[in-house]
Structure 1
């Protein structure tokens, strides 16, 4: 009888962007707990160092890299440092992202539109571009890109955010088709409303704002960052070896009716 593959990252290397907080921090911690050496990447050096300290205090291996993921040379540099420190790249979670203030499309400035697209979508392109270059040399690797429920469902007053996240889903699916025969798997994850600093900013961290968001979740609560992290690890593991080109919705039933 063939053994069922396990979610095991001992001896492997993971690269996580947006690792300073929220889902990114939870994923970096989860990879380290599962045995991976972790390259933790964020533009916020203070928050990033907090994540790295948690991993080190728990006995994990981590390399903290301050990086603006909208800049190709910085992304390439971060991956070069990862290879220099750890020698390979097995899993990547391209998670860095920002929210859009609630505004109809006619009121959004060109500058805000460009910023949302750059951080949420262009960064995913840049990360995949240089990660795939490394993984092609190895003949293996798994990439998970953070999209959103807003990547499968149109939401009023969120046009730039939706555009960026629909784009992440599309780019992930195309990359999966292009590199499946090369041993590289690419998937997207589409979280629902997750209890992170981003949601706190969006709701102004008020009881009323939180209640409004929770009311959209059939499961009756926000998701936890660790629940998204667990899904990312599964998608990057051998247990998901036959999964590629998928946009996995993890949203407490929020989009079940579409």
Structure 2
């Protein structure tokens, strides 16, 4: 899964799955564009990865802003002459609870990131890849993109939509030599889950019990799968939604 010399654009890179993906891609020799809206953590990550600024470019971007997404993709592609790989990890949990009590503004804020943001990223990543007729994209969806997830209707709807975008783009761009795949993680031990559904021992026990393996996954386990799908080792894989979920969706 050597990514030596490959140009890789990673969203949500400042923490959790995105950070693990960035670190794994860097270890495999990739040239990185790291995108996140957390400027401080993004800068710290870049500093820890490389003393050679040419190999690690950072941009503070809220992916709900299409203009900012387009500018960041364009700048990276211009710097290196191409975009080989994109791994889209950015996302938020958003409102939880029964649908009838869900705040509409919170619902729209979630969709602006998890669905509109994914659309913005795919649109501009594919624009560059289409011009060269090659590339690989991996979208981080969720086990909640394959099955229902209690008390998270908005999040579940958005992640189902990410799966739909992935599969349709895989069909539309296959003849141009562009592969588009997704990963459906189960509960992963990230700052996001620690601040939300696993903020209490009871919450963590509940999430762990949904997995036959009875534990949370690690960001590194998702990064391993993402790098495989992005790499030439997965050259005949497109339109796939790989469940990396400790057996959650097998119940």
Q: Same fold (TM over 0.5)?
A: yes
The correspondence for 2:99, drawn from 105, 121, 132, is 105
1:35 aligns with 2:47: no
* 1:186 to partner: Cα distance: 0.4
Q: Where does residue 125 of structure 1 map in the other structure?
A: 119
- Normalised by the length of structure 1, the TM-score is 0.94
* 1:59 to partner: Cα distance: 9.6
CA, structure 1 residues 127+59, in 2 after alignment: closer, same or farther (shift >3 Å)?
closer
Structure-to-structure mapping, 1:170-189, within 5 angstroms: 170-189=164-183
CA distance in 2, matches of 1:59, 1:122: 30
Provide the alpha-carbon RMSD of the alignment: 1.5
Residue segments in structure 2 that go unaligned for 5+ positions in a row: none
CA distance in 1, matches of 2:154, 2:42: 27
* 1:247 to partner: Cα distance: 0.9
CA distance in 1, matches of 2:204, 2:52: 32
Asked if the contact 2:94/2:109 (under 8 Å) is kept, the reply is no
Q: Where does residue 46 of structure 1 map in the other structure?
A: 40
* 1:144 to partner: Cα distance: 0.7
Residue segments in structure 1 that go unaligned for 5+ positions in a row: 1-6
CA distance in 2, matches of 1:167, 1:101: 17
Number of corresponding residues: 251
CA, structure 1 residues 58+201, in 2 after alignment: closer, same or farther (shift >3 Å)?
farther
CA distance in 2, matches of 1:60, 1:218: 44
* 1:60 to partner: Cα distance: 8.9
The correspondence for 1:94, drawn from 88, 96, 105, is 88
CA distance in 2, matches of 1:50, 1:204: 26
Q: Where does residue 3 of structure 1 map in the other structure?
A: none
Query: After TM superposition, which residue ranges in structure 1, 4 or more long, deviate above 4 angstroms?
Result: 57-60
- Normalised by the length of structure 2, the TM-score is 0.96
Asked if the contact 2:25/2:227 (under 8 Å) is kept, the reply is yes
